[in-house]
Amino acid sequence: MAKNRVIPFGYCMKNGKITVDFTESKVVIRIFEEYLNGSSLQQIAKLMASEKIKYSEGSDLWNKNIIKRIIENEKYLGTDKYPQIISEKFFNQANEKRASNATSVCVISEDLQEIRNRTYCLECGHRLSRIGGNCRCAKWDCRNPHCYRLEYQLTDQMIIGSVLTVLNAAIANPSLIENSSEISVYSPTADVIRKQNEINQMIDSAQGNFERIKSEIFKLAEMKYGCCSYDESSHKTAQIRGLLENYEQLNSLDIGLFKSCVNRIWISHFCTIEVEFINGVHIKNITERKDENEHSAKCDGNSCESSDGDKPQ
């Protein structure tokens, strides 16, 4: 049965004192060399296992986490208890590379994070997942188990290009973002109409009780108020127009304008991208895929379309 290591790989105990294990220390140095020469943690782990190198007594089981712990272990620089195995320069080079790799894989820009926070699947309404971190093979997909995957590969640049095209269309033709909804709407319910009829009958009656009628009128007013709705879309439309008039055609996405104007990005499973503005207006943009697998983002034909079919002049 394999035993867990008590002291780090590369060291052993002799006469009650921690000393360098000659065989294992050579493996430690080799691990650092392999990593700095371009091998991944997983590749190094497979190499150790393939050569039957024992990690602990009775075990040659290696994995990338073990390799990572070895590369990160500062004891190899030497301490009061542990003799030095790796030079400080060698150790720093390996860990600078590890930190750089971790950043490039896991971290995306703040601008791209803002886009991800607003991007949703048009079919199921769930937010789309972005897979791949900050690398060239990053792509977007719907990971809702009750939905289904996108038909085509969707990249960052396809989404950014589509949003940029829509914003430029709105800058060139502000009528695209117009919303025709009324500022306020009153829709009486059956109960309101019934109460109004009751009050009318009480007023027409010669035996009407003034205090009771007044009380019922107050109740009716409260019921009518509950039937009123206020739509802020007209105010938000004016807000968007005020922002757009300060811009000329954009060469790259202005994330500040994006955050101020765009509520959500809706993406269908057939690569149709809709930008929903904060006033509720949707403008569609079709992304085209070329045979040579290059992605472009531009309007279908020669124009963008708002949700009501308006086209730029």
pLDDT of 129 higher than 80: yes
Strands annotated E in the chain: 11-14, 17-20, 119-121, 129-131, 139-141, 184-186, 228-230, 262-267, 272-277, 282-289, 295-297, 305-306
Tokens of 118: 């607003």
For the segment 17-74, what is each residue's pLDDT rounded down to a tens digit? Answer: 999 999 999 999 999 999 999 999 999 999 999 998 988 755 668 899 899 999 999 9
CA atoms of 148 and 44, how far apart (whole Å): 37
Cβ atoms of residues 136 and 155 within 8 Å: no
* Helix locations, 37-80, DSSP H: 41-50, 64-72
- Residue 26 DSSP SS3: helix
What is the chain's mean pLDDT, rounded? 81
The greatest distance separating any two alpha carbons of the chain, rounded to the nearest whole angstrom, comes to 115
- Report the pLDDT value the prediction gives residue 172, as an integer from 0 to 100: 93
CA triplet 124, 127, 129: central angle to 5 degrees? 115
Could you say which DSSP state residue 137 is in? T
Q: Output phi, psi for 120, to 5 deg.
A: -130, 155
Residue type, 194: R
Tokens of 30: 């080799």
pLDDT of 297 higher than 70: no
Q: Output phi, psi for 39, to 5 deg.
A: -75, 145
pTM exceeds 0.95? no
For the segment 86-125, what is each residue's pLDDT rounded down to a tens digit? Answer: 999 999 999 998 887 765 545 567 788 889 899 999 988 9
Cβ atoms of residues 297 and 275 within 8 Å: no
Could you say which DSSP state residue 128 is in? P
User: 295 or 235, which is more confident?
Assistant: 235
